[in-house]
């Protein structure tokens, strides 16, 4: 019996579901192996901007808000270096 097809005759429904899920995401999983890029840092930046926007709810100057976002991003880069 071929290992990739062993799940078919196992009779285990959870194993069959897992194998179908892996097959559906196969291209993405293999792409991750070649290029391990994550959107995690981007999502973290978006969360910080949303928090800043909540804190600056009554801020009247849009340019000041823009500068605060740039300062947030700039300080993040300096801390990483």
Q: How many domains does the chain have?
A: 2
Same domain (yes/no): 24, 44 = no
Same domain (yes/no): 53, 27 = no
Range of the domain at 14: 3-34
For residue 73, what are its two tokens? 């991003």
Same domain (yes/no): 44, 76 = yes
> Is residue 75 pLDDT above 60, yes or no?
no
Same domain (yes/no): 48, 29 = no
Same domain (yes/no): 45, 60 = yes
Helix or strand (DSSP H, E) at 43? helix 40-55
- The per-residue pLDDT for range 11-61, each reduced to its tens digit, is 889 988 998 999 999 999 999 899 888 888 888 888 888 888 887 776 677
> With a threshold of 0.75, does the pTM exceed it?
no
Same domain (yes/no): 47, 65 = yes
pLDDT (0 to 100) of residue 11: 81
CA 60, CA 47: separation in Å to the nearest integer?
21
Same domain (yes/no): 29, 52 = no
Q: If we measure between CA atoms, which residue out of 13, 28, 18, 14 comes closest to residue 4?
A: 18
Distances 15 to 7, 21, 43, 76 between C-alpha atoms, Å: 6, 10, 32, 43
């Amino acid at each position: 019996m071929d290992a990739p097809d062993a799940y078919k005759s196992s009779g285990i429904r959870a194993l069959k579901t897992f194998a179908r899920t892996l097959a559906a995401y196969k291209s993405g999983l293999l792409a991750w192996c070649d290029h391990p890029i994550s959107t995690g840092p981007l999502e973290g930046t978006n969360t910080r901007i949303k928090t800043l926007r909540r804190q600056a709810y009554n801020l009247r100057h849009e340019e000041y808000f823009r500068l605060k976002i740039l300062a947030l991003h700039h300080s993040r880069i300096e801390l990483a270096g």
